[in-house]
Structure 1
Amino acid sequence: MKQGLEPAARFAADLAAVWPEDERSGSLGLAVSGGPDSLALLLLAHAAMPGRIAVASIDHGLRPEAAGEVALVERVSGERGIPFTPITVKVAPGNVQARAREARYAALAQWARAQGLGAVATAHHADDQAETLLMRLNRGSGLAGLAGVRSRSTIEDSETILLRPLLGWRRVELAEVVAAAGITPAYDPSNANADFDRVRIRQALAEADWLDPVQLAASAANLAEGWQALSWYAELDWHEMVMRDPDAHGGLGFTYCANVPRVIAIETLLRIIGELGGHATRGEAARAWERLWAGENASLGGVLAVPSVERVEKVGVAMRVWRFRPEPPRSAGH
């Protein structure tokens, strides 16, 4: 093992970095699939903090083998006296991987609330992070995407803390932890299916021995810090440069004094659209910014934005001022 620490001590230090002892108000919930990575998470957490963990395993109803994998996790948990909860979810139609992820995290948040857990941890590791970074680089992702999976965040639409304490660990190190415990993990065949972008990236990464997944993961962490700084500035921009601007009929609108770099303005645009009940992607907001910056009206997410240049009293200079209103309903026949 790296860093000269026993695995349990190393894990405890990594966990403390993302979830300090003085912030812990309940047990740590673990999402465990039965694969080698998540079983290693279970074993490491049990060794580092016995009696303060709980395990959930999710059957998405997509593969007949899943029930057996849940049973494996139940057995491993039961042998160690770890509270275990099996969860079955229904995956909505559409992009199977994306819908399965949404269903999984929603179920984990509900489980955490019901059990009074302090946080939930998943087994994402350095190789996962490296794959994610390379995939998103290949897609031309912006800073938000290049930041990869975060070591600490919250599950969407909940207050549940989500931790990924294994981002400094290699896949092979986690497999060694499971092998040392004499456990035979389950293997999901989709992890070898080259129809998936991630699998092709994984195979290419394995052949490129000059690429270091741990350093790629560190780069993603650095990008995440940059994204955190940008988000802080976008919050400031929202409070300082966006004003509620009701129309003559009392309808909600916003006026935005746009004077920040494009990447920050895009975040502010997205927030305005959301406040007005719409939804847009960052790509759509970027295209709207380009139109507005050029002095042209823009429409996105059911919101109409109209640009002008005005003297703004609070700053004492002329600047771009963009006004946002819900788009009027289309007339019949159009």
Structure 2
Amino acid sequence: MLDRAAVERFGGDLAQVLGGVVPPDAPIALAVSGGPDSMAMLALAAAAFPGQVHAATVDHCLRAAAAAEARMVADWCVDAGVPHTTLVVAEPIGSASVQARARAVRYDLLVRWAVEIGARCLATAHHADDQAETFLMRAARGSGVAGLAGIRARHRRAIDLVRPLLGWRVSELRALAVAAAVPFVDDPSNADPHYDRTRFRALLRDTPWLDAAQLARAAAYVAEADATLREIEAWLWTTRKVTPERIDDPDLQSWLDLSDLPREVQRRMCRSAIHSVRAANGILRPIFDDSTNIEPLLDALLAGTTATQGGIMVSVRGKVWRFAPQPPRRSL
């Protein structure tokens, strides 16, 4: 049996992330890999919101055991009365940037599924230890405010992507699953030293004075600062956007007067413009997110030269920076 206090805590955490209320009728979609953290979340959600929970497991077809792990989740869901779907990745992930590419494909599948079932939100099982690892990884790469804000508790895509477990430690989630006899598996890739995250996980484990909860708290404070800057950014987007005459497709590109703004504001506005133009043109590759380093791009623009980032070409026209899809490469 699950501890009732833990179930109530989870229900309160999900409600807080969603702004105070969990709609009583809408489905709650969960991404469940079969690991101890996601299985604990599944058990907590099923107990806290009976009849509302739907679960999905993504089989990336990268490991032979993945199909059996998805069946394990499906079997538990049958016993618990929770609808379950296995989402199979149709196209090969490839051998380069495997984790990043797998993550992008996984979220595409999960978001599409959650929208199809009419879910109010899609919850993932990211926890405080994940947040601490992300904070350290991005700090080591020299990330700015947006990157150091780490994993957001709530992120709007086609649906609300929520992380109700960011205040939970991985050890308590594993202990909860064990105590309630909830089955789970440990993904061997989580111990593979070839991946950056695995090395930072080992650093936290072997360095007692690096407190994961405190690092996660620091990321939360940075996220607050990031949210304030985003409000300023939204205002600047309306006041600094330029629409030149004789432009046939103004929605497919962006023109911004950014030359006299502080570098952090330029950095954020560039990210917004790149995201906007990528979305308008359906550009998915290469991967571009808040942790992508755009300092070389800024250096080039401030020097008055053209540069590319995330499939977007950015050029300087006097004081205005133009963001447009990168032209296709000419064949030889």
Match of 1:88 in 2: 88
Match of 1:322 among 299, 320, 323: 320
Normalising by structure 2, we get a TM-score of: 0.84
TM-score for the superposition, normalised by structure 1? 0.83
Closer/same/farther in 2, CA of residues 39 and 271 from structure 1, 3 Å limit: closer
C-alpha displacement of 1:303: 3.7
* CA-to-aligned-CA distance 1:46-84 (integer Å, 9 cap, x gap): 121111111111111110111111111011111111111
Deviations 1:35-55 (A, max 9, x none): 101000011111211111111
Are 1:305 and 2:303 counterparts?
no
How many angstroms apart in 1 are the aligned matches of 2:237 and 2:228? 14
**Against the structure 1 CA distance between its residues 123 and 244, is the aligned structure 2 distance closer, same or farther, given a 3 Å change threshold?**
same
1:212 counterpart residue number: 211
Deviations, residues 86-120 of structure 1 (Å, cap 9, x unaligned): 11113433321111111111111111122111111
1:153/1:123 CA distance change after superposition, 3 Å: same
Query: How many residues are matched?
Result: 312
SS at match of 1:243: coil
Relative CO higher for 1 or 2, CA cutoff 8 Å, sep ≥ 6? 2
Q: Which has the larger radius of gyration?
A: 1
In structure 2, the CA distance between the partners of 1:49 and 1:326, relative to structure 1 (3 Å rule), is: closer
- 2:151 maps to 149
CA contact (8 A) 1:303 1:326 kept: yes
Among candidates 103, 106, 113, match of residue 104 of structure 1: 106
1: CA distance between counterparts of 2:248 and 2:81?
Answer: 60
- For residues 220-235 of structure 1, what are the structure 2 equivalents within 5 Å? 220-235=219-234
Change (3 A) 1:77 1:262: same
Structure 1 residue 145: deviation in Å? 1.3
Residue 235 of structure 2: aligned partner: 236
Name 2:141's counterpart in structure 1. Answer: 139
For 1:190, the equivalent position in structure 2 comes to 189
1:219 positional shift: 1.0
Contact map agreement 1:37 1:123 (CA 8 A) in 2? yes
Give the distance between the partners of 1:219 and 1:201, measured in 2 at CA. 17
Deviating more after overlay: 267-276 vs 36-45: 267-276
Contact 1:292–1:306 (CA under 8 A) maintained in structure 2: no
Identity across matched positions, percent: 37
- How large is the Cα RMSD of the aligned pairs? 3.0
Cα shift readout 1:254-302 (whole Å, capped 9, x = no counterpart): 35153321111223234456549699888775444445545x3444433
Q: Which is worse superposed, 187-196 or 256-265?
A: 256-265
